[in-house]
Amino acid sequence: MAEQVLRITGGQPMQGEVTVQGAKNSALPMMAATILCKGQCVLHNVPRLTDVWAASRILNRLGCNCHMEGNTVTIDGGAAQSWEIPDSDMRQMRSSIMFLGPILGRTGACTLSLPGGCELGPRPIDLHLEAMRRMGAAVAEEGERIRCCAKELHGAKIHLPFPSVGVSENVIMAATLAKGETVLTNAAREPEIIDLAAFLNQCGAKIRGAGESTVVIQGVEKLYPTSYTVMPDRIAAVTWLCAAAASKGSICVRGARPSDMEACLSVLEQAGCRLGICPDRIFLEASRPLRAVPEIRTMPHPGFPTDGQAILMALLATAAGTSVFEETIFESRYMHAGELLRMGANIRIFGRTAIVRGVPRLHGAAVAAQDLRGGAALAAAAAGAEGETVLRGLSHIDRGYEDLAGVFNNLGCQVRRISF
């Protein structure tokens, strides 16, 4: 199969409007959660991404009759007949472990393998498995296969050593049909957790405290099908804002929720971008020279999101002064830095710290995305660079962005997606 690349011609200010897509990190766990409902659920505003196709394949393998038309997904969780996910499907997406909680909660048995997706260093699933054990599941690991079974899941008190989004989601989903009350402490507080809980509560679950560090789930006997609209993607919104800022442009991002993006918006303002913030849209104007931001430390929500780190680094590569990034969430999340060096950036990596000394301008180069957000960062950098950038590794970008090339073109940045 021929490889596809993006040929991005930068140097022109991006201008116009873009409507942000639905949140990938909200849609995917919701799709998994439909397994808990005996009936047909309809999800609206679902982004058309390769990770969504992968989740759809898994649901169809399980017999759930998943169908997508436009940005609407219809899933009949009650039709599920199998509880074993093939290795090939699990390896298509990093977050495929999210199926563990709902399958185990619905049937008391689940067989799956280690997940795939972006290579961001060690990402052990031990916390997921330990949480299921606390709720009464027996877990057996056979090489790269994992078998979980429980006659009946029961409520438990579960404290997470780290506020993992994925583990929090798995516990919440598994606990909705468990017997008794589950109390999850040090839970993740991300907006996507709130969205998942709102969906499940609309189905009849009893979840309170989502978005806070303690979440309480009272198990119910049954969940009912519903129709729900997925929240907007805050990281996609940040990507469009940063790309426009890198090109010294001005844009309006419609459908965004600024309240979910405060840490990123603060960095943009510190960098010298002018922002106009409304409840459902964000205006950005970046004609003035950018300023370095002395310290950016990734943290669980409401701190600065790790998914925004690469994208803001691409922007600050041309800011006057020195910006310092500290990555506290994932290891190996500076792979984009080496590619930015090809474009003329001045970046030095010391373990989890990246020191970015701003240069006057980046130039086009041949670069490769090695993970999802790193790929978006390179595209944003290319929008502001002189000349043409050839960006490979589009399979990573397609996991999280519906039509990056189309958005860029609509904003005035010339992008061609070609095969060779």
C-alpha to C-alpha distance for 55 and 38, rounded to whole angstroms: 18
Instruction: Fill in the DSSP letter of residue 2.
Output: P
The answer to whether 118 is a known catalytic residue is yes
91: helix, strand or coil: coil
Instruction: State the residue for tokens 């994932």.
Output: 330
| 110, 118, 203, 273: the active-site residue | 118
**Residue-by-residue DSSP string for 41-56:** EEEES----HHHHHHH
Contact indicator for 349, 390 with CB cutoff of 8 Å = no
Q: Which residues contact 373 (CB under 8 A, 6 or more apart)?
A: 235, 307, 308, 309, 310, 311, 336, 400
Q: Which residues contact 46 (CB under 8 A, 6 or more apart)?
A: 22, 27, 31, 52, 68, 71, 72, 73, 230
Instruction: State the residue for tokens 């989740």.
Output: 55
Q: Which residues contact 127 (CB under 8 A, 6 or more apart)?
A: 160, 161, 162, 164, 167
Strands (E), 59-156: 66-69, 72-76, 109-113, 138-142, 145-149
Contact indicator for 112, 100 with CB cutoff of 8 Å = yes
Which residues are tagged catalytic? Answer: 118
